[in-house]
Amino acid sequence: MVSINTMYCEKRLPVFTSKLPDYENYNKHMLDLIKQYREKFPEKETHTNLRAWRSQYDAHIKEERFEHLIDKCCDFATFVSKHMWDADLVYLPSAMWVGQYDKGEYARKHHHAPADWAVVYYIDVDENSSPIVFEDELIVKPENGMIVMFPGDLNHRVEPTNSPRTIAAMNLVKKLDIIEIEYTPNKDGISKE
């Protein structure tokens, strides 16, 4: 067995927020879409950190009308990467889901590694909806139309909520331009074709 040594360094990790323009009309559309989605796929995902109704992780595959929100969130990730690190990156969803919390429901502490970014979009919340809590220290109060984006390995949770809370969430990964090269063995080892 391989021996593994683990060392740590402290680093502050960013949490980014933004609001979509015209979110009032957009969120009405999203609530209708989620209602239709739940009618078509009523089963509650049981293998989840959410102790609330949650779709499966492939909601973006089952329902292409979520694509508009995915595009907005991927564009936000690209914008942040360019302005924070001067990196020209494109992002794609590796998973996307929607969730609806009723009073008393919550999310256990968890993370989204190995995703580059995790994103939550708030569709229907009010002043009594529980915040998202990062690493037991940073509290972000949800607002309708707000996007919250954070590194996938950042632990977070949601305390039991005092009022309903509807969200869409996704994991984003970098789109990599991979050049595939075929290798074939020869008498000296492996050579490139």
- Stated as kind and residue range, the H or E segment containing 122 is strand 117-124
The residue type found at 138 is L
Q: What is the DSSP letter of 162?
A: S
Short-list 73, 80, 66, CA closest to 15? 80
**pLDDT tens track of the chain, all 193 residues?**
789 999 999 888 999 999 999 999 999 999 999 999 999 999 888 888 999 999 999 999 999 999 999 999 999 999 999 999 999 999 999 999 999 999 999 999 999 999 999 999 999 999 999 999 999 999 999 999 999 999 999 999 999 999 999 999 999 999 987 666 666 666 666 555 5
Residue bearing tokens 């229907």: 124
Nearest to 157 by CA among 104, 100, 82, 106: 106
Report all structural domains of the chain as residue ranges with CATH numbers, in order of start. 21-176 (2.60.120.620)
Whole-number Å distance between alpha carbons of 54 and 100: 7
Residues 6 or more apart from 53 whose CB is under 8 A from it? 38, 44, 99, 100, 101, 102
pLDDT at 137: 95
pLDDT at 179: 65
Q: How high is the pLDDT of residue 45?
A: 85
Contact assessment for residue 101 and residue 164, using Cβ atoms and an 8 Å cutoff: yes
Distance CA 75, CA 91 (A): 8
pLDDT at 2: 87
Can you give the pTM of this predicted structure? Answer: 0.89
Note the pLDDT of residue 108.
Answer: 97
Residue type present at position 104? G
Q: Which strands make up the sheet holding 138-140, listed edge to edge?
A: 50-51, 106-110, 156-158, 132-134, 138-140
Q: Give the residue among 104, 111, 121, 108 at the shortest CA–CA distance from 170.
A: 121
Residue from 96, 153, 97, 164 nearest 130 by CA: 164
